């Protein structure tokens, strides 16, 4: 539950439940770790949040929550003594901006955030600053403990061979696949039409019309409902062409028409905070003609036939003809962004791709099918099924990386457990008698 404490502190629970809880709780200190205290309201607020989320526990949930806080404060107490652990104002401000962006995205606007928490934005940020500083310090302390832990291939093999068979994890069915993606050609006339329309929008805004209103009415991106506003983002989070134009804007000037991988934009800078900017945009996407769509299908269909007849390999065809920059240099093999491996569980796949792969045999190449790519463009794809595994007990041949990661995590937990036990013995810890009967995981809290 330790990670739930972290998430709860940094998300809405740490603020939204406090007013509700304080009406019912006479606050008091329930524990001290080093120079850091844990209030009764800390435990009660988190307990209310866990209940609201439907969390259940086989033990005493309040005792578990308190122990999670105790571990956090123990890490913080050591971090405060460690001169190599440094948290800068820039890190805190960046984290604050991310939290506020999260709140705004989920609640709709800064005004809605203030109404929800019944506090002005400045007060919400002030309440979170110390929480974020402490959390960044504990994260660094935990990383310092765990980063020393490594496992070798020999250790992974030895660990696996000595596992009780019933403890070897089950691996759900997975597939590996490659793809070739072709986007239909866009005519010069269509591109010019889109650019002319955006130039007209720019002129209307410069003449006094509302950028946000035009975005709601005409923008073809998901941010349209929010007046085209994207929220605070760094360069790496934005399309390179979009970022170059947006970061060069001054004041509330409107950019010229910008072409990105997603379409054509005009952009307005709303605010800048350090290396992050908040912008709004209107995006229009050129539409291919039916003839262009058919042409893309025919080209890809012919290419798939050449691959089946072994006139060209799938990897070479992907390199030469695929429009997908992320996969064409890897022979079309698609990487799972959640695991950074080539293996995909069914629920992780794009539904269009999953449906096609279900009908393929290993090494079979599909017919072309229409789908939406990661740039939200309509494209045609062909896919090749590289491998398909059945549900099975993990083994070293097929699942080495998973076994290695699980063993590494196990060793890291052991290192953290050992560190906690040692720190308990040399750190001042006091816990209120009302928690004396808790069945804590770590036995050194009560002295």
Judge whether 2-150+409-435 and 174-184+289-392 match in fold. Answer: no
What is the secondary structure of 104-161 as a DSSP string? Answer: HHHHSSHHHHHHHHTS-HHHHHHHHHHHHHHHHHHHHHHHHHHTT----HHHHHHHHH
To which CATH superfamily is domain 2-150+409-435 assigned?
Porin chaperone SurA, peptide-binding domain (1.10.4030.10)
- Per-residue pLDDT, averaged over 76-89, amounts to 92
Give the burial class of 281: count Cβ atoms within 10 A of its Cβ; 0-12 exposed, 13-18 middle, 19 or more buried: buried
> How confident is the model over 165-182, as pLDDT tens digits?
999 999 999 999 999 999
CA distance 239 to 261: 7
Give the burial class of 344: count Cβ atoms within 10 A of its Cβ; 0-12 exposed, 13-18 middle, 19 or more buried: buried
CATH number of 174-184+289-392: 3.10.50.40
Beta-bridge partner residues of 431 = 31
- What residue spans define the domains of the chain? 2-150+409-435, 174-184+289-392, 188-284
Q: Hunting for tokens 């609201």 — which residue is that?
A: 52
Please state, rounded to an integer, the average pLDDT across all residues of the chain.
Answer: 89
* More confidently predicted of 363 and 237: 363
Query: What angle (nearest 5°) sits at the alpha carbon of residue 399, between those of residues 318 and 153?
Result: 110
Q: What class, spelled out in words, does domain 188-284 have in CATH?
A: alpha beta
> How confident is the model over 6-58, as pLDDT tens digits?
444 444 344 444 444 444 446 799 999 998 999 998 899 888 888 877 888 88
- Per-residue pLDDT, averaged over 191-206, amounts to 96
- pTM tops 0.85, yes or no: no
Examine the pLDDT at 2 and tell me if it is beyond 90.
no
CB count within 10 Å of CB 173 equals 13
């Amino acid at each position: 539950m330790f990670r739930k404490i972290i998430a709860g502190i940094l998300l809405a629970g740490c603020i939204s439940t406090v007013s509700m809880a304080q009406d019912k709780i006479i606050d008091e200190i329930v524990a001290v770790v080093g120079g850091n205290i844990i209030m009764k309201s800390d435990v009660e607020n988190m307990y209310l949040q866990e209940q609201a989320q439907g969390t259940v526990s086989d033990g005493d949930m309040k005792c578990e929550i308190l122990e999670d806080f105790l571990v956090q404060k123990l890490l913080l107490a050591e971090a405060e003594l460690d001169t190599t652990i440094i948290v800068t104002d820039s890190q805190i401000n960046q984290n604050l901006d991310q939290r506020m962006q999260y709140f705004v995205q989920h609640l709709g606007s800064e005004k809605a955030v203030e109404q929800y928490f019944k506090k002005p934005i400045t007060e919400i940020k002030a309440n979170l600053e110390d929480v974020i500083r402490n959390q960044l310090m504990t994260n660094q302390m935990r990383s310092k403990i765990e980063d020393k832990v490594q496992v070798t291939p020999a250790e992974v093999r030895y660990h696996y061979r000595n596992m009780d068979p019933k403890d070897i994890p089950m691996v759900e069915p997975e597939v590996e696949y490659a793809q070739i993606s072709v986007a239909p050609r866009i005519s010069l006339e269509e591109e010019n039409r889109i650019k002319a329309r955006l130039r007209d929008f720019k002129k209307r805004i410069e003449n006094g019309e509302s950028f946000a209103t035009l975005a709601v009415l005409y923008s073809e991106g998901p941010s349209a409902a929010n007046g085209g506003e994207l929220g605070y983002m760094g360069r790496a989070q934005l399309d390179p062409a979009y970022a170059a134009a947006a970061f060069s804007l001054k004041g509330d000037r409107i950019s010229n028409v910008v072409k990105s991988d997603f379409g054509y934009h005009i952009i307005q800078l709303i605010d800048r905070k350090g290396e992050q900017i908040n912008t709004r945009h209107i995006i229009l996407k050129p539409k291919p003609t039916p003839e262009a769509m058919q042409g893309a299908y025919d080209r890809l269909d012919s290419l798939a036939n050449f691959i089946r007849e072994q006139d060209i390999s799938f990897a070479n065809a992907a390199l030469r003809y695929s429009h997908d920059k992320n996969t064409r240099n890897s022979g079309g093999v698609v990487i799972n962004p959640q695991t950074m491996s080539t293996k995909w569980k069914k629920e992780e796949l794009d539904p269009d791709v999953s449906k096609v792969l279900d009908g393929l045999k290993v090494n079979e190449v599909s017919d072309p099918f229409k789908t939406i790519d990661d740039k939200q463009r309509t494209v045609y794809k062909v896919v090749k099924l590289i491998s398909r595994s059945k549900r099975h007990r993990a083994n070293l041949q097929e699942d080495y990386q998973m076994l290695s990661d699980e063993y590494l995590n196990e060793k890291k937990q052991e290192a953290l457990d050992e560190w906690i036990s040692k720190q308990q013995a040399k750190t001042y810890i006091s816990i209120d008698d009302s928690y004396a009967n808790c069945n804590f995981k770590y036995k050194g809290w009560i002295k």
